[in-house]
Structure 1
Amino acid sequence: MPHAGILAANPDGAAQCFLRYCRAGAAELGGHTYPDVSLDYIGFGHHLRAWQAGDLDTVGAYLARSVARLAASGAEFFVCPDNTAHLVLDEIGPELPLPGIHIAQAVATTARAAGHRRVGVLGTAFITGSALYPTWLGADGIEVETPAPPDAERLDGIIFGELVDGIASEASRAWFVEVVRGLAARGCDAVALASTELPLLLAPDDSPLPVIDSTVVLADRALDTALGRSSLPTWRGGRHGDLR
């Protein structure tokens, strides 16, 4: 079975991806057995100033270094359970030492399989203000909607002001459900939670629309690859890699 690598860009997303991968693998294979997996994390603080300065070349060098260390560990492909990091991975170009499964492509694959045609993307202002999801979902003919600018700004504030500390107020939850309801009124038939922390705000049973959790679908796609249900990816960075 191919050895998977997890490129960690934040602890929470990496931990969620790792646990989902291992627990789902053990449920299938039994006996606390699951395909080999390695995880590499260069602490966010090492390149925080580069992020703040918009120095994506420096951030990309750190991410590429992590991928190289995963390759040295024996990993044959990687996943990165951090949506914002993909803004940089999309710019690195086909130079990474391992092929990877793109998080937005994993969301697109899930949406397409479920027959969704217009997906509301929810996440930080970095994500909702970028071309990341329109590019990758658009390659599958899936339209993307994002919250109106005031709602996107408020959501960004909730993510960084509450959710990163594990806090989700009832007022924020109720407001977020209304944001999803608004996306449904705009013709969306699903919402993608494109931020690790957003499941704290929205349980699938509370959502007016079907929910696609980007961390969960990425872990599941990695497991499918390790178990031979999906072929090894070919994307090695860049916006125009393995679009389909």
Structure 2
Amino acid sequence: MTSPVRPLPQKTIGVLGGMSDAATADYYRLINARLNAHHGGWDNAEVIVVSVNFGNIQHFVRNGLWDEARAYLAEKVDRLEGARVDVVVCATNTMHRVVAPIMAERSTPFIHIVDPTGAAIRAAGLRRVALLGTAPTMCSAEMARRYAEKFGVEVMAPAEADIAAVDRIIFDELVRSDIRPSSRAEYLRVIDALRAAGAEGVILGCTEICLLIGQGDLPGFPVFDTTALHVEAAVDYALGRMPAA
């Protein structure tokens, strides 16, 4: 067997992370694991991570300071582009609100987190799914519109009180890798309510939710983990299997 040329030619994946560090660590680990599964041996991914201060992000989000968030993250994207990454992924659903418009003005390829998720839902033949995430994500008209217009998928948000509960658990627990059985039970209760209202599956629309629940907690009910699907899309791009948006 012929040995590959060294250094192995690869595309570099740029991760805009730190929102939170728990999710970013998962992105880094999963990207490397998937590339190693493809290449074998000791090979994995070439990754550049620009990790932001989550204290700044939570301040912007909780106070609705989206212009300030955009300016802050635009400078971080500058750093990724300065490192000459081949593609950018933003390791958070919530901040796509500002990162997607930033990337729309750039030439660097960008993989929107909705796109691999919406494609997976459509491939499963589903049309109406629950969406869990931070309050801005669950209430996002932009997210709902992208799922609907690109993939024909209607997303359902929880009731108002449940939105507050889901959001609180993310910000007060999951971003700190604080995993509580009581919070798992609360998320499953919220999902049961959405299922009773007609949801055919559920999107784990925050990149930390996979730390708390997964498909094993909901047998027979499709779960779409945005973290895993986004990572898979990034790896496919790096391997030349798919274009970015």
92-101 or 3-12, which deviates more: 92-101
Work out whether 1:202 is the aligned partner of 2:213: yes
Q: Equivalent of 1:58, from 61, 68, 72?
A: 68
Distance of 2:104 and 2:188 partners within structure 1: 39
Secondary structure at the counterpart of residue 11 of structure 2? coil
Q: 2:225 aligns with which of 203, 213, 235?
A: 213
The change in CA–CA distance for 1:216 and 1:93 in structure 2 (over 3 A counts) is closer
Task: Report 1 or 2 for greater relative contact order, CA contacts < 8 Å, sequence distance ≥ 6.
Answer: 1
4-13 vs 140-149, which moves further:
4-13
Distance 1:76 1:171 in 2: 41
1:6 Cα offset (Å): 0.6
**Of 92-101 and 45-54, the range deviating more from structure 2:** 45-54
Question: Are 1:47 and 1:58, in contact at CA under 8 Å, matched by a contact in 2?
Answer: no
What is residue 4 of structure 1 aligned with on the other side?
A: 13
SS in 2 for 1:155: helix
5+ residue gaps in structure 2? Answer: 1-9
Residue equivalent to 1:177: 188
> SS where residue 96 of structure 1 aligns?
coil
**CA 1:215–1:115 in 2, change beyond 3 Å: closer, same or farther?**
same
How much does 1:130 deviate? 1.4
TM-score normalized by the length of structure 2 = 0.86
**RMSD, aligned CA:** 2.0
Equivalence map 1:20-169=2 (5 Å): 20-46=30-56, 49-92=59-102, 94-139=104-149, 140-169=151-180
Q: Distance in 1 between matches of 2:171 and 2:132?
A: 14
Change (3 A) 1:46 1:201: closer
* Partner SS state of residue 14, structure 2: strand
Amino acid of the structure 2 residue aligned with 1:159? I
Secondary structure in 2 matching 1:100: coil
| TM-score (structure 1 length as normaliser) | 0.87
Q: Hey, what does 1:241 align to over in structure 2? A: none
Q: Quick one: distance in 2 between partners of 1:200 and 1:73? A: 30
Equivalent pair of 2:17/2:51 in contact (CA under 8 Å): yes
Q: Which runs of 5+ in 1 are unaligned?
A: 235-244
1:227 equivalenced with 2:236 (yes/no): no
Distance 1:160-1:46 versus aligned 2 partners, 3 A rule: closer
Query: How many Å separate the matches in 2 of 1:54 and 1:176?
Result: 25
User: Equivalents in 2 of 1:60, 1:114: separation in Å?
Assistant: 34
Contact 1:194 1:214 (C-alpha < 8 Å) held by counterparts: yes
Counterpart position of 2:6: none
In the TM superposition, what is the alpha-carbon distance from 1:35 to its structure 2 partner?
A: 3.7
